[in-house]
């Protein structure tokens, strides 16, 4: 595999430091050479070798993304890639950057951390965090937060509970000692996001069905599958919903532009299943909510070792038949309709469709811990909180 050279504005070396007497020196540097870039990308394959829960990302996706291709986040501010070596051998990595658009809109002075990985050695993690803090201070930042996505996909937060099963699509697995590293360095909890597991074989409680039917009749709305063949019109309605539904007080989120919504829609269309994506409308046709769920493609991706070619596509088509679960990962409802059962109606439609398609399990994730109404809706449907992802913060 040949990976392209990624150039930083100015390369710096942040070491060496030592982990203790007799321990190999730890050095951190910015990625400037093609060989460094390759080591940054492929390090997880070494760290997670033999781990039954880790799912290798597709190289055909992560490499272009780290080059800034189809990655709008990199257009919103500076970033750099940090690589740690211990005794000359790659031992950890971290992406650090600034989302200037978010900072301007929210009044923040924060930088983000993404793609953190490390061997089980606190000296390696501390060296990365030190380098990130120094880089962000030079950018005039006062806080660092993470782990956050390195693009417009999900992959949000550090796994802190639920280590006994693989992640669903666009979620991550981390070893338990990562939390220890963040805590030990002085990071504090910023926000937790929850994942909920639903066993579709147990069926949806009848009472939940009755409540949803009553709400739709009383308030005058319906739920139907998104028309992926009419994506332009549907994305325009999705944009209207997001403009009204994305709370201004939500941290680390800005309302996407219509072009960004279209870009996300085009990216999802090849892998989306129409019966798992829904839009809610009032009886007058007003768009009031939408959701996106995907089959849990991680079931197949874990067999590809990050490569679609030359035989990855064949493996994907073979193992895709084993997918029996889905992840609902986006759901928004405009404020005026939030107390009218719309969230519950969308959940119900999604879960019923998944069951009809032969799925036995589903996950609703990730839900902000403070989003009480949405958490109550999924819990009433029989979902169980099974994983927690944490975003940390630290003042510089």
Distance CA(339)–CA(350), nearest Å, equals: 19
| Nearest-5° Cα angle at 56, 155 to 299 | 85
- Domain locations in the chain as residue ranges: 17-153, 198-395
Per-residue confidence band for 250, with pLDDT thresholds at 50, 70 and 90: low
CA distance 106 to 330: 22
Residue 204: its pLDDT value, please? 81
- Compute φ and ψ for 26, nearest 5 degrees: -110, 125
Helix axes 342-356 and 206-219, enclosed angle (nearest 10)? 130
Distance, CA of 82 to CA of 341 (rounded, Å): 46
Q: Are 89 and 121 in contact (CB under 8 A)?
A: no
Q: Is the pLDDT of residue 15 over 60?
A: no
Q: Are 338 and 332 in contact (CB under 8 A)?
A: no
Our CA dihedral for 230, 234, 236, 242, rounded to 10 degrees, sits at: -160
Measured CA to CA, the distance from residue 61 to residue 71 in angstroms comes to 10
**Reported confidence tier of residue 231, pLDDT bands at 50, 70, 90:** confident
Residue-wise pLDDT tens digits, 62-84? 999 999 988 888 989 999 999 99
Cβ atoms within 10 Å of 256's Cβ, excluding its own: 18
Give how far the C-alpha of residue 236 lies from the chain's centroid of Cα atoms, to the nearest Å.
23
- Mean of the pLDDT values across residues 166-181? 95
| Beta pairing class for 158-161 and 188-199 | unpaired
CA distances (Å), origin 80, targets 8, 42, 72, 98, 110: 7, 17, 15, 10, 15
Question: Which pLDDT band, with edges at 50, 70 and 90, does 155 fall under?
Answer: confident
User: pLDDT tens for residues 334-387?
Assistant: 989 988 999 999 999 998 999 999 999 999 988 999 988 889 888 888 899 999
Q: Given this model, what pLDDT does residue 280 score?
A: 96
Tell me the whole-structure pTM to 2 decimals: 0.88
Percent of the chain exceeding pLDDT 70 equals 92
76-109 pLDDT, tens digit per residue, is 999 999 999 999 999 999 999 999 988 998 889 9
Res 1 pLDDT > 50: no
Q: Is the pLDDT of residue 148 over 50?
A: yes
Q: Is the pLDDT of residue 133 over 60?
A: yes
pLDDT at 300: 93
Q: 73 or 112, which is more confident?
A: 112
118 touches 178 (CB < 8 A)? yes
Mean of per-residue pLDDT scores for the chain: 88
Model confidence at 201: pLDDT above 80: yes
Q: What is the pLDDT of residues 315-348, one digit of tens each?
A: 888 888 899 999 998 899 998 998 899 999 999 9
Question: Of residues 5 and 145, which shows the higher confidence score?
Answer: 145
Q: What CATH fold (topology level) applies to the domain 198-395?
A: Aminopeptidase (3.40.630)
Do 17-153 and 198-395 show the same overall fold?
yes
Would you say 178 and 116 are in contact if contact means Cβ atoms under 8 Å apart? yes
Look at residue 377 in the predicted model and tell me its pLDDT: 83
The CATH fold of domain 17-153: Aminopeptidase (3.40.630)
pLDDT interval class at 252 (50, 70, 90): low
- Please give the pLDDT value at position 146: 93
Residue by residue, DSSP assigns 254-301 as: -PPPHHHHHHHHHHHTTT--GGGEEEEEETT--EEEEEEEEE-THHHH
pLDDT of residue 19: 39
Per DSSP, what are the bridge partners of residue 281? Answer: 222, 287
Residues 252, 316 contacting (CB under 8 angstroms) = no
Query: Is pLDDT of 17 > 70?
Result: no
Pairwise CA distance, residues 123 & 157, whole Å: 22
Q: Which of 72-81, 110-119, 257-266 has the lowest mean pLDDT?
A: 257-266
Q: Who's near 185: CB < 8 A, 6+ residues apart? A: 125, 126, 129, 394
Per-residue pLDDT, 247: 63
Model pLDDT, residue 277 = 92
Separation CA 231–CA 237 (nearest Å): 10
SS3 368: strand
pLDDT of residue 254 exceeding 80, the answer is: no
Q: How far is CA 69 from the centre of its chain?
A: 18
Question: How would DSSP label each residue in 60-75?
Answer: HHHHHHHTTTT-GGGG
């Amino acid at each position: 595999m040949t990976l392209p050279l990624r150039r930083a504005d100015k390369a710096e070396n942040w070491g060496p430091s030592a982990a203790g007497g007799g321990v190999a020196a730890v050095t951190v540097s910015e990625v400037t050479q093609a060989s460094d870039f390759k080591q940054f990308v492929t390090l997880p394959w070494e760290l997670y070798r033999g781990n039954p829960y880790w799912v290798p990302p597709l190289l055909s996706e992560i490499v272009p993304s780290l080059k800034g291709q189809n990655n709008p986040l990199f257009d919103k501010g500076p970033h750099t890639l940090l690589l740690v070596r211990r005794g000359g051998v790659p031992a950890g990595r971290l992406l650090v950057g600034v989302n200037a658009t978010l900072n301007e809109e929210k009044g923040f002075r924060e930088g983000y951390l993404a793609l953190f990985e490390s061997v089980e050695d606190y000296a390696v993690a501390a060296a990365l965090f030190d380098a990130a803090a120094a880089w962000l201070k030079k950018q005039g930042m006062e806080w660092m937060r993470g782990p956050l996505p390195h693009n417009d996909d999900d992959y949000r937060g550090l796994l802190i509970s639920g280590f006994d099963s693989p992640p669903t699509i666009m979620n991550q697995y981390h070893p338990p000692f990562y939390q220890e590293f963040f805590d030990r360095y002085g990071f504090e909890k910023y926000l937790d996001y929850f994942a909920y597991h639903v066993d579709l074989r147990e069926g949806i409680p009848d009472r939940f069905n009755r409540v949803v039917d009553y709400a739709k009749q009383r308030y005058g709305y319906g739920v139907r599958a998104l028309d992926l063949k009419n994506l332009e019109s549907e994305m325009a309605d999705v944009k209207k919903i997001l403009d009204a539904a994305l709370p201004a007080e939500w941290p680390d989120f800005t309302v996407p532009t219509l072009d960004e919504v279209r870009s996300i829609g085009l990216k999802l269309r090849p892998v989306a299943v129409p019966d798992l994506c829904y839009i809610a409308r009032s009886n007058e046709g007003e768009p009031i909510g939408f959701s996106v769920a995907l089959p849990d493609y991680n079931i197949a991706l874990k067999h590809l070792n990050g490569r679609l070619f030359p035989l990855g596509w064949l493996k994907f088509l073979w193992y895709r038949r084993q997918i029996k679960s889905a992840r609902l990962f986006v759901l928004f409802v405009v404020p005026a309709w939030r107390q009218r059962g719309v969230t519950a109606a969308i959940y119900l439609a999604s879960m019923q469709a998944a069951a009809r398609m032969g799925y036995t399990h589903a996950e609703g994730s990730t839900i902000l811990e403070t989003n009480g109404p949405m958490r109550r809706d999924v819990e009433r449907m029989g979902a169980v909180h099974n994983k927690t992802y944490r975003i940390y913060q630290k003042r510089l």
